[in-house]
Structure 1
Amino acid sequence: MPETPSALPPPSPSSSLPGLRFAFGTLTVLPVRVTRWDRPAARAGMLCAPLVGVVAGGAAGLLGAVLLLLGAGPLLAAVGAAAVPALLTRGLHLDGLADTADGLGSGKPADDALRIMKQSDIGPFGVLTLVLVLLAQVAALAEAYDGSWAQGVLAAVVSGASARLAMTLAARRGTPAARPEGLGAAVAQTVPVAGALALAALLTALAALAGGALLGTYGAVRAAAAVVVAVATAQSLLRRCVRRFGGVTGDVFGALAETAATAALVVLALG
């Protein structure tokens, strides 16, 4: 029987490597074998989730930069950068976004909404949400690459890290799982609140440092603001999902990631 959140042991170095494996093995399609599926490993994995975002965002940003160097315009570079995270997750986060939109938009009671989310087809709310989110991501990335390749890379990395930070915060204690099975149940309530908040503060500070190093003071402010707005937007969606569904699911985690990534990109495109 899984350990309850209050029974989880404190973090230990022995869970770090399994935690990294858990993070990369469950949040990407990279060939990483998950060696442990217990709650300490899940907690360590969710705390490592922003690192997965840095890797995915870095790969996305670099592809866009290479396309620019090869003579492509900012729009094509943005399309390439937006495609990388989708490929690294086999589109699971986008699928989660569409399913969550269908569940929320159905207006059905929690059990019926969860059943709708488990169906393989995508409804009108899901399609509309996917189209708008992908358009927003590509448009914001194009704006960044139109400034410079460095702005494009920074936008991709900050959005990727913010997306996974939203998942870490959703796994904090006090946020229940909507179902007794699935990835949502495996990681729900595994992350200590203090650890989640500390990670959010650290990522905000690192984004500001990176923005300042590449783009100056204004870039630092925008990068930090992007993380803050991304987290706030994802938390608003999380509260809505918990009220409607009774907790989180794997689909909700995907929706939070895409929502946070989009919000971060929009902030970085402004000004």
Structure 2
Amino acid sequence: MWNNFSKIILSNRILILVLFFVLTLFMAWKASFVKLSYIGSKILPQTDSAFIRYNDFKSKFGEDGNMMVLGISTPKLMSKELFNDWSLLASELQKLEGIKQVLSVGNLYDLQKDTLNQRFVLKQISGGAILRDSEMDSIKNRIYELPFYEGLIYNKESHATLMAINFDHKILNTPKRGPIIKTILEKADAMSKKHGVEVHYSGLPFIRTAVSQLVSREFVLFLGLSILVSAIILFIFFRKLYPVLFPIILVIVG
């Protein structure tokens, strides 16, 4: 039986190669429509009670998975040089496509009383670049007088502060998320090198991007190593190039 099968293959090898080539082109064309999903996998079925309660919770209170956080800790936190650059970084990130809001120690608001109109108004504590040390001291004292931000935006004891970056959820689950995260890291790293402070990163958008990039690199590494190991094993058995080359080509095409 196997002799007849091999004779059929050898006598029709041109036709088989043509069919293999056509099928390869067809699969490559269909593969061009494959897209990577940036939405988290849904483990539970849509009819599960926990999944239903989770969706109900999101519809009432929203979703907090669109926040990225940058943090620094340095005694130079309230120096005008670092304060200005930290505020400038927040302003630059605010202008990026897909960023809804950026909150940092440089753009905090103070609730003040409007006696004329008998209402409360929000006034930004820092109105722009700080040029004098006395102005910086005044802003620092005012920020420290507001207990609402203590432990939320800054910590006086550890000289730490954070910057909260709110992503547009429409951009968050698209391929545009990666370039936005990359731009944020580049701008933050530039400021970090300028002042010699370490910037820490956290938040679900950053973690998801870092994990997806890690998985992508590991997938390429695993594929390359598997092809290399297969080639070495085939070469040990056959001791020739052709019996190794064509099976490896078939594996790569597959």
> Same fold by TM (over 0.5)?
no
- Which structure has the larger Rg over C-alpha atoms? 2
Give TM-score, length-normalised by structure 1: 0.21
Instruction: Identify the structure with the greater helix proportion.
Output: 1
Give TM-score, length-normalised by structure 2: 0.22
Instruction: Identify the structure with the greater strand proportion.
Output: 2
